[in-house]
Amino acid sequence: MSESAGQLADLRGRVEALLAAHDPATSDRLDFLRARFDAGLAWVHFPEGLGGLGLPRSLQGYVDELLARAGAPDNDPRRNGIGLGMAAPTILTFGTDEQRRTFLRPLWTGEEVWCQLFSEPGAGSDLAAVGTRAVPDPHDPGTWVVNGQKVWTSSAHKARWAILVARTDPGVPKHAGLTYFVCDMTDPGVDVRPLRQITGEAEFNEVFLSDVRIPDAHRLGAVGEGWRVANATLMNERVAIGGHAAPRESGMAGVVARTWRERPELRTPELHDRLLSLWVEAEVARLTGQRLRQKLAVGEPGPEGSAMKLTFARLAQELSGLELELLGEEGLRYDEWTMTRPDIVEFTGRDAGYRYLRAKGNSIEGGTSEILRNIVAERVLGLPSEPRVDKDIPWKDLPR
């Protein structure tokens, strides 16, 4: 029996043992998820004791399939996308043993939702320019006091924890003076306010931090190492947004293709040519995503994730625009423009007007398309970087 076959057999045995001890039909959902984590079947590529077994990442799909066939509950991953896709791999890479034990289990089970406190009104695409300050409390050694404002924070209104980048040394160049923390969103100094967007909803929030106290035990990485830690988070974010496993004609490509098939009276030769072109591009992106996940199975996410996210944003916007044109007057209909704070972003279950408006945010969230083009140009194509005149100037001396 090959090693791969042996691994599959071992995983099958572990799944069967989990199901025998915790029948999904009678077990409490949260109890089952906790037991699955403890059995190493949450993230099989994570270390033992942290939800994994130290196996290749590619084997996770096999575990998920076995459990789905048995009717086992999942951890509702879309509800905690930032926690699962960004916080967890960052904590695994940079966290202490205590931080990993504290945060990873309730994160994976969905007991604790996470959000991301990175962007600011004056520091979005230029994340290294953040001005939120974290200073040591002179009266309480081992505690940081944080003040500032963050913006475009998805899930902040339901999050228990946040990953936070703050400036701890304004006297050094901007990239060198940052530190990365885990922030308790229940601290009395955290004020979350909804940001209403063009769809009428408020997926995002602005967050005001007023004398928020963070123990040094909740710092990820060394003081001043925040830029390196944040970059690891962002690479994982772009993979999470643009690198999902997907069947053919998933997402917006499938939505538009179904409309085309079901409504022949809407067709024109020009729209047909555009649909074919975008369908092919979507299929190329899907297959490229498969290659990206193969690379992830043997290492860390790299700049390829930025290229995938860039492609995802462009295709979503072009396909949603094509759908609107295909539908003509029907595409102008918008069923409900109301102020809600949705738990998840649902494209395929909404009308064409919503999809068209919501897709505009795809080229901003998770890194603007302009910044991602720079990353692809410099780190993938090897082109010269743009001149950066502020690279060696202390942050406090930069114009703002």
Q: What domains, with CATH codes, occur in the chain?
A: 1-74 (no CATH), 114-225 (2.40.110.10), 243-380 (1.20.140.10)
Q: What is the pLDDT of residue 117?
A: 98
Q: Give dist(CA 89, CA 229) in Å, integer.
A: 11
DSSP of 86-129: IIHHHHHHH--HHHHHHHHHHHHHTSS-EEEE--BTTBSSSGGG
Structure tokens at 296: 């992830």
Helices (H) and strands (E) in the chain, counts: 12, 8
Q: Give dist(CA 357, CA 163) in Å, integer.
A: 28
Q: What is the pLDDT of residue 301?
A: 56
Residues 6+ apart with CB under 8 A from 45: 52, 54, 55, 56, 57, 59, 60, 297
Q: Give dist(CA 144, CA 127) in Å, integer.
A: 21
Q: Give dist(CA 334, CA 353) in Å, integer.
A: 5
Q: What is the pLDDT of residue 149?
A: 98
Q: Is 332 exposed, middle or buried (0-12, 13-18, 19+ CB in 10 A)?
A: exposed
What pTM was estimated for this model as a whole? 0.87
Range list of β-strands (E), 89-228: 114-117, 133-136, 143-150, 161-167, 178-184, 190-195, 204-215, 219-220
Q: What is the pLDDT of residue 297?
A: 57
pLDDT tens for the chain, 400 residues long, are 455 888 999 999 999 999 999 999 999 999 999 999 999 999 999 999 999 999 988 899 999 999 999 999 999 998 999 999 999 999 999 999 999 999 999 999 999 999 999 999 988 778 999 999 999 999 999 999 999 999 999 999 999 999 999 999 999 999 999 999 999 999 999 999 999 988 889 989 999 999 999 999 999 999 999 999 999 898 776 565 544 567 888 889 999 999 999 999 999 999 999 999 999 999 998 888 777 766 665 555 566 677 888 888 999 999 999 999 999 888 888 777 778 888 777 777 788 998 999 999 888 887 788 888 888 888 888 899 888 888 889 999 998 7
* Contact criterion met (CB below 8 Å) for 239 and 232: no
318 is catalytic: no
Active-site residue identified among 120, 201, 203, 237: 237
* Contact criterion met (CB below 8 Å) for 11 and 63: yes
Identify which of 136, 165, 143, 161 has the alpha carbon closest to the alpha carbon of residue 216. 143
Q: What is the pLDDT of residue 294?
A: 67
Q: What is the pLDDT of residue 244?
A: 56
Structure tokens at 154: 């998805």
